[in-house]
Amino acid sequence: MNPVLEPLFRTVRATHPKADLRLIERAYDVAAYHHRDQKRKSGDPYITHPLAVATILAELGTDDETLCAALLHDTVEDTAYSLDELRGDFGDTIGSLVDGVTKLDKVKFGDAAQAETVRKMVVAMSRDIRVLIIKLADRLHNMRTMRYLPEHKRHQKSRETLEIFAPLAHRLGMNTIKWELEDLAFAMLYPKRYDEIARMVSERAPRRDLFLQEVIEKVSGDLREAKIRAVVKGRPKHYYSVYQKMIARDVAFDDIYDLVGIRVLVDSVRDCYAALGTIHARWNPVPGRFKDYIAMPKFNMYQSLHTTVIGPEGKPVELQIRTHAMHHRAEYGVAAHWKYKEEVGSPGPTGKVKPGSDMAWLRQLLDWQKETSDPGEFLESLRFDLSVSEVYVFTPKGQVIALPEGATPVDFAYAVHTEVGHRCIGARVNGRLVPLESRLGNGDTVEIFTSKSPDAGPSRDWLKFVKSGRARNKIRQWFSKERRETAIEAGKEAIGRAMRKQGLPLQRLMSGEALLALARDLRYPDVSALYAAVGEGHIAAQAVVQKLVASIGGVDSAEEDIAETSLPTRLRGRPRGGGAGVVVAGDADVWVRLSKCCTPVPGDEIVGFVTRGHGVSVHRADCTNVQQLKEQPDRLVEVSWSPSDDSVFLVAIQVEALDRPRLLSDVTRTLSDQHVNILSASVTTSRDRVAISKFTFEMGDPKHLGHVLKAVRSIQGVFDVYRVSGAGN
């Protein structure tokens, strides 16, 4: 036996004793031969990658055909070894698995190619789910070795992982893969947020571990007294899931972290419910926090009892109670099927599920990919479907239909049938008439009323509230999405032509806030709708340009003042060069103002621009507005720093932090402790729980800025702080 394969075979013997080791060794030999001259970006021999993928799959307990396909998965794409040769050597099953995993021809680039890759993967996996399992293991090993790729590739792959592959792993119940993919991608995409959460977790670990130990001892003791055999252990917290809970529950880190997780593993379903009763006898359960996923398993075959109780010190403790078989399936999901292939029927007393019995979601994906002609739209639908949790509602005949959380009767209608969706005119939920945009809840019985008119069709307003990808796709198809996009492009082009005719600064005008404000003034929801209106002839391009120029103060303003959004610094003493700390070459008595768009301070390279009636404005040399000012070289003047004791400078900084209560007061207190005079502040909080604060303040000595930044960076939750200017960070 090849000694390189010994670790793999050791794992295979433990998880799948009946596997054909000779077949696996032959697959390795073929792969090693064909990849012999290839290296990975890390410099390692290429064969290390297929071997690592096969090892990941062996740990999941997959069968020998899957392991062979994993070893051979890159040969057809990256070597001279053809698919026909592979089928001849290893048979049709392994050949089909490798073909399913093989990516599209490398000539195709961009989002469409990526969407087509996902689409091909969906088609292949609908025939054999093992294709997707190999793909997930392949992505996991690539994420583990991602540091050798260039930064833009790392970000692209990590985003793909978070949006597509980790949710797919979740859909298939493969939580061990999902958690690792999420944490690796999170660390790659948002290293500063990741490090801040890791630091906060490690700071609280000792106190948390003591509390956890106390809870485990009490639960174990109670179960022993009740004669229930159980394994009780703490649940690991994954950094990305902590971050996601901060976003989803809209709470601060400390509130999340008090939610200590305990897992109780017992021998039978009866013991699950007995253990639940024992735990509730000691601690009061939190109302509304009990979930029975044993009686009603999740879409991905997951089964467990979930309860939250008020534990010691009045802190909430979350417990999951399940059998060992359920635990194996919760960790490995669909990959655990090979353990239970001989099982038949629905979840029985052992808590095991028939292979493929709950995989209707895959068939739904297959329907989508047939009916969605635009691959980009398919990918968008897939991302959306993967990112939401579900509600289960009933048809009048009692059939269960799964819909995304927040779904409406329109989503339900399209889930029943496309024609039912198109002709939907009303709905009755639990016997009561409801508006079409009302949200459905778990267990609702929904009845749809349809129109018999031959002209019946969906309303464009439905797109504002439908949640499911299927409904969205069908409504868009009805309204011929392509026609609108053509109108948008035509409108954009017409406005551009009209601006060029007048010699206006096209890029500045069309990318500014002015266009959005104008669209809203004209009663259009966004800029795209304004473009579409021009393209469809509802409004003339010339009229739009005239209104746009008028809104920013005429043609002269459009040419000059768009760039000049600077305000004079408040100066002590005479508003001349000395007070601003800047002198103009050849004339020390010219009024100088420091531009607010880039807030220059001593040490920055600067240029001066003679404005009309406002003296000389001073910009940083790398300010974005300087490029436009250089088009009038006769108005540029040489300036140099000459700060005096009474010079005052404006400095703008940006603070990025994980949002929490009292964050703003902590930052402002720290700034005032540093003796800076805050002139303006703005705070925005994004949906991903990141608070971005911008502060503008006066400062006499710019060298003091380093101390200010250091002090702000030490505040809990702050993961980045830097000076901002017109040039970026």
Q: Which residues are catalytic?
A: 77-78
| 19 three-class SS | coil
Burial 464-481 (b: 16+ CB within 10 A, else e): ebbbbbbbbbbbbbbeee
For the range 309-315, what are the long-range contacts, defined as Cβ-Cβ under 8 Å and sequence gap of 24 or more?
309/279, 309/280, 309/282, 309/283, 309/284, 309/285, 310/283, 310/284, 310/286, 311/215, 311/260, 311/283, 312/211, 312/214, 312/215, 312/218, 313/211, 315/211, 315/258, 315/260
Report the helix count and the strand count for the chain, using DSSP H and E: 32, 20
- d(CA 436, CA 448) in angstroms, rounded, equals 10
To which residue do tokens 């010190």 refer? 313
- d(CA 334, CA 134) in angstroms, rounded, equals 12
As given in the structure block, the two tokens for residue 717 are 């939750």
> Using an 8 Å Cβ cutoff, are 73 and 134 in contact?
yes
- d(CA 405, CA 428) in angstroms, rounded, equals 19
To which residue do tokens 């305000």 refer? 567
Paired residues of 306 in beta bridges: 291, 320
Residue type, 450: T
> Using an 8 Å Cβ cutoff, are 161 and 190 in contact?
no
Listed in sequence order, the residues at least 6 apart from 40 whose beta carbon sits closer than 8 Å to its beta carbon are 46, 48, 49, 145, 148
Paired residues of 234 in beta bridges: 262
As given in the structure block, the two tokens for residue 76 are 């057809």
Strand residues in 472-615 grouped as ranges (E): 582-584, 592-594, 606-610
Report DSSP state, residue 673. Answer: H
In degrees and rounded to multiples of 5, residue 499 shows phi and psi of: -70, -40
What is the sign of the dihedral through the CA atoms of 10, 16, 22 and 23?
Answer: negative
| 264 three-class SS | strand
